Structure 1
Amino acid sequence: MEDFLKEYLSILRFEKNLSENTVKSYETDLRSFFDFIKNNGINDINEIKSATISDFFERQRKIGKDSSTSARYMSSIKSFFGYLEDNSYIEKNPTEKLASVKKSRKLPSVLSFIEIEQILNQPDTEDIIGLRDKAILELLYSSGLRVSELINLKINDLFFTDEVIRVLGKGSKERIVPIGSSASKWVQDYLFKTRPSLENKIRSQNFVFLNKRGKKLSRMWIWKIVELYSKAAGIEKEIHPHTFRHSFATHLLEGGADLRAVQEMLGHADISTTQIYTHIDREYVKQVHRDHHPRG
């Protein structure tokens, strides 16, 4: 089974051109499934039946996995068995008649504009690291970037005259995103005042945001930066870098932005992914009504 998995992951990487994070997600899901079937004495791919897969999902339910995780597992497993079937590695596809797991619709957590302002005001911009962090937070909110997109930005992806940046998104898809005057100002300040003192000619490789050793920042560091300044702002709810992306989209729609334009800025392949933010917008409208209408 290990050989099948390696071949499948290679196809995802080199033929389907999926991002490394997506491939790792598939691998993690499938290894969890393989661990389960091995523990149940199954070592041959053709011994896996529909009932085996159903038992796996029942196990996931019992250990408290939510519907979103189960839906992802189902997608990974179905895709893997589709590959086995297409290559005649199995006699019968055990996922053929399995229903997809219905994912409960969970609205993303968003910050109010006031909360965003409170966080953005926390970094000490007289300090070189504080100035870097200020630029990062401004850019996360101004452009709605994913963490992977932010840490992989390079100097030649920045076009300050046009106030846009070039982003390499999921599946290596390139898009152009507005940066906005405030973020543009802080990123330029960082580039001229801070980055030169952090840069290492060998390690930096033209990446925009660097750590103290001159290497590009890791995903974990961005999480730590967001957590640090959110706590400093006195915001108690759980906040992560993607919260800035959710807030970016929600605030645009609240301000009357066109859904298709927001889809383009976020880099969503399917507009239905963007539409979840219209539900948040409706919740905001209902809250305004409750708070301000005499009979709300």
Structure 2
Amino acid sequence: AGSAKEFLNYLCQQGFEPATVQIYYHALKPFLAYLGILLTAKFKKRRKLPAYHGPDQVQAVLNVIHARTGRWSQLKERDMTIVLTLAYTGIRRAELLSLRLRDINFRTRMIKVSGKGDRERTIPIADALYEPLRKHTKGTQPSDRLFPMQPRRLWTIITRYAAQAGIEDLHPHSFRHYFATQLVENGVSLKTVQELLGHADISTTAIYLDVVPKHLSNAVERLPKFALTAI
């Protein structure tokens, strides 16, 4: 059993997918059981890295929305505000759709978000989001939802714009990944990113370090520069 476990561990260390290691495990287990040896093992699913979308992709989506004409043009302001809110806050789809005017404090420029497990957090309103959000909420009552629609409708809106912009695999949650990767890319601490995203476990946030490997170089480049008169 010891040698079998060492073999399975070796496969894991070599980067084999958990599903592949499990195939070997299930192949070995009956044979070892026949020999009277009990083999037990636990497998953790490898977290899939989110697709990377940068500012160019977000801008492309905004351009498509801005180009809307005809009877759909009246929805431009709403849809632009949806994309900007997702991109500048990193909130989840359900959090966006549950936002009400009373959750927005334009004086302090903060948004109160009710996240998973009824955990509340506050997110600053970025300068680029302030005016679009204020315009969108004009005439809205405190208890009114800012974006009254079903989750499926939001999904359709975003994926349709993405398709028109020629962008694959972009959906509402992609903007959460965009928000996180941009923060990491710009040197924001992982702890701060965790707080803004509302992650209970910082290991969930740490996945974005793999999505943006260049953060390591950026971190080193932030060190003080010295004048080298002679070497």
With normalisation by structure 1, the TM-score equals 0.55
Tell me which residue corresponds to 1:228. Answer: 160
Change over 3 Å in CA distance of 1:140–1:67 after alignment to 2: farther
- The 1-side partners of 2:62 and 2:40 are apart by 47
1:279 partner amino acid: D
- The 2-side partners of 1:285 and 1:217 are apart by 40
Contact 1:155 1:208 in 2 (8 A): yes
Q: How does 1:272-291 map to 2 (within 5 A)?
A: 272-282=203-213
Change over 3 Å in CA distance of 1:284–1:227 after alignment to 2: farther
- Residue 189 of structure 1 and its aligned partner are, at CA, apart by 1.6
The equivalent position to 2:64 in structure 1, one of 82, 103, 122, is 122
Contact 2:185 2:212 in 1 (8 A): yes
- Residue 162 of structure 1 and its aligned partner are, at CA, apart by 2.1
- Residue 284 of structure 1 and its aligned partner are, at CA, apart by 7.4
Contact 1:119 1:230 in 2 (8 A): yes
Q: How does 1:35-74 map to 2 (within 5 A)?
A: none
RMSD value, Cα: 2.6
1:117 partner amino acid: Q
- The 2-side partners of 1:274 and 1:239 are apart by 20
Counting matched residue pairs gives 178
Change over 3 Å in CA distance of 1:112–1:285 after alignment to 2: farther
The structure with higher relative contact order (CA 8 Å, sep 6+) is: 2
Q: How does 1:208-287 map to 2 (within 5 A)?
A: 208-209=146-147, 216-235=148-167, 237-282=168-213
- The 2-side partners of 1:161 and 1:270 are apart by 31
Q: Higher mean Cα deviation, 177-186 or 239-248?
A: 177-186
Report the secondary structure of 1:111's partner residue.
coil
The equivalent position to 2:53 in structure 1, one of 104, 111, 121, is 111
1:229 partner amino acid: Y
- Residue 106 of structure 1 and its aligned partner are, at CA, apart by 1.8
Contact 2:187 2:215 in 1 (8 A): no
Contact 1:157 1:166 in 2 (8 A): yes
Contact 1:145 1:245 in 2 (8 A): yes
| Superposed CA offset, 1:210-257 (max 9, x none) | xxxxxx21111111111121122222x211111110011001110111
- The 1-side partners of 2:50 and 2:153 are apart by 22
- Residue 100 of structure 1 and its aligned partner are, at CA, apart by 3.8
Change over 3 Å in CA distance of 1:113–1:284 after alignment to 2: farther
Tell me which residue corresponds to 2:144. Answer: 206
Change over 3 Å in CA distance of 1:100–1:168 after alignment to 2: farther
Tell me which residue corresponds to 1:145. Answer: 91
Change over 3 Å in CA distance of 1:130–1:98 after alignment to 2: farther
- The 2-side partners of 1:266 and 1:123 are apart by 26
Report the secondary structure of 1:131's partner residue.
helix
5+ unaligned residues in a row in structure 2: which ranges?
1-16, 20-38, 218-231
- Residue 120 of structure 1 and its aligned partner are, at CA, apart by 2.1
Change over 3 Å in CA distance of 1:103–1:190 after alignment to 2: same
- The 2-side partners of 1:162 and 1:189 are apart by 17
- The 2-side partners of 1:225 and 1:281 are apart by 27
Please identify runs of 4+ aligned residues in structure 1 that moved more than 2 A. Answer: 97-101, 124-128, 283-286
